[in-house]
Amino acid sequence: MEMTSTPLRRWLSRGGHFVILAAFVTFCAFPFYWMLITTFKDTHDLISTTGNPFLFNNPPTLENLRVLFVDTQFGRWLINTVVVGLSVVAITLVLAVPAGYSLARLAGRWGQQLAIGIFLTYLIPPTILFIPFSRIIGAFGLQDSLWSLVLVYPSFTVPFCTWLLMGFFKTIPKDIEEAAMIDGLSRFGAFFKVVVPISMPGLLTVVIFAFTLVMQEFVYALTFITSSSQYTVSVGVPTFLVRGDVYFWGSLMGACLIVSIPIAIIYNFFVDRFVAGFTVGAIK
């Protein structure tokens, strides 16, 4: 009531709203703006202290990106990341889709407990498990191999994806499977031939989520991988490109930006679903 009484008040409240949002947007997005401008600055401009650093004092250049792709193994790291990501997504789907369906439809009371138990394992962090893993990986002869990451990453993608899929399958009307089963399909047949195909939005969410988790992962890759040709992007860039006293800031920022922006755009479409997954139980 007080808020909308006079035009002046309304104007003030709108102005305040704008100022608050502008401040937050600056805080959140400034590092990315700074990456963008650094990527295209030439080296002299970067280290000159005379000009305004927010602007291009010398003409923009693609030299930093050339260095990144030609003189470093960045391209290789991108390929490694995609290989690991796709493998982990495949394993995650094979394990989490049946598990999510089982918890949503076939499990009784123990299902509820088990579902919460599976969700809680997502909270056990890599920083507790990486020390025993470093030895387990060695025992399997997988040290310094991308396969070590393919083996270990599903340990955090499967719990959360099972949880997400369980929520998703619960929203599908039971009549659909019952109708399919009356038509002569077994329960498994109904699940595989009817439920899975109409669950594509849920499966897509899981694919995106598992893939982005792989791109974000840092601790295991840092622990298991030692040779630069086997790095993933999230470890290769901060360890290999930041070594020594000479920093190639332009190339570094370019690397960060090239990886971050596409993920951010894709993720943006799915964010509401992830939030629903995070908050099951608290919102009704």
Partner 1 sequence: MSADVVRARGLRRFIDDERWLGRLLIAPAVIYIVALVGFPFLLAIYYSLSDATVGSRTLHFVGLRNFRLIMDNPTFWESLRNAIVFTLVSQVLVVVLAKILALALNKNFRGKWLVRFLILLPWVAPISLGVIGWLWIFDPVYSIINWGMRAIGVFGPDTWPIWLGQPKLAMASVIMVDVWRLLPLATVIILAGLSSIPQDINDAAAVDGAGFWRHLFRITVPLVMPIMLVALLFGIVFTFTDMIVIFVLTRGGPYDTTQVLASYAFFTGIQGGDLADGAAISLFLFPVLVGVAALFLTMARRAEVT
Q: Which of residues 7-26 bind partner 1 (CB under 8 A)?
A: 17, 20-21, 24-25
Separation of alpha carbons 27 and 32, rounded Å = 10
Cα 220 to chain centroid distance, Å, stands at: 15
Judged by beta carbon, residue 131 or residue 200, the one nearer partner 1 is: 131
| Contacting range for partner 1; rule: CB under 8 A; set: 57-65, 66-74, 169-177, 213-221 | 213-221
Q: Is the torsion defined by CA of 22, 28, 33, 34 positive or negative?
A: positive
Residues 221 and 231 sit within 8 Å (Cβ to Cβ): yes
CB of 61 to partner 1, least distance (A): 17
| Contacting range for partner 1; rule: CB under 8 A; set: 55-63, 67-75, 194-202, 264-272 | 264-272
Separation of alpha carbons 150 and 147, rounded Å = 5
Separation of alpha carbons 41 and 61, rounded Å = 6
Q: Binders of partner 1 among 152-171, rule CB under 8 A?
A: 152, 154-155, 158-159, 162
Judged by beta carbon, residue 63 or residue 238, the one nearer partner 1 is: 238
The reply on whether position 95 binds partner 1 by CB under 8 A is: yes
Counting residues that bind partner 1 (by CB under 8 A) gives 102
Judged by beta carbon, residue 50 or residue 197, the one nearer partner 1 is: 50
What end-to-end distance do the CA atoms of the chain give, in Å?
29
Q: Binders of partner 1 among 73-92, rule CB under 8 A?
A: none
The reply on whether position 207 binds partner 1 by CB under 8 A is: no
Separation of alpha carbons 68 and 106, rounded Å = 51
The reply on whether position 223 binds partner 1 by CB under 8 A is: yes
Q: Which of 6, 8, 49, 244 binds partner 1 (CB under 8 A)?
A: 49
Binding to partner 1 by CB under 8 A, coded x per residue (else -) over 100-139, reads -xxx-xxx---xx-x-x-xxxx-xxxxxxxxxxxxxx---
Q: Tokens representing 214?
A: 């792989």
Separation of alpha carbons 214 and 66, rounded Å = 26
The reply on whether position 283 binds partner 1 by CB under 8 A is: yes
Residues 126 and 219 sit within 8 Å (Cβ to Cβ): yes
Residues 241 and 72 sit within 8 Å (Cβ to Cβ): yes
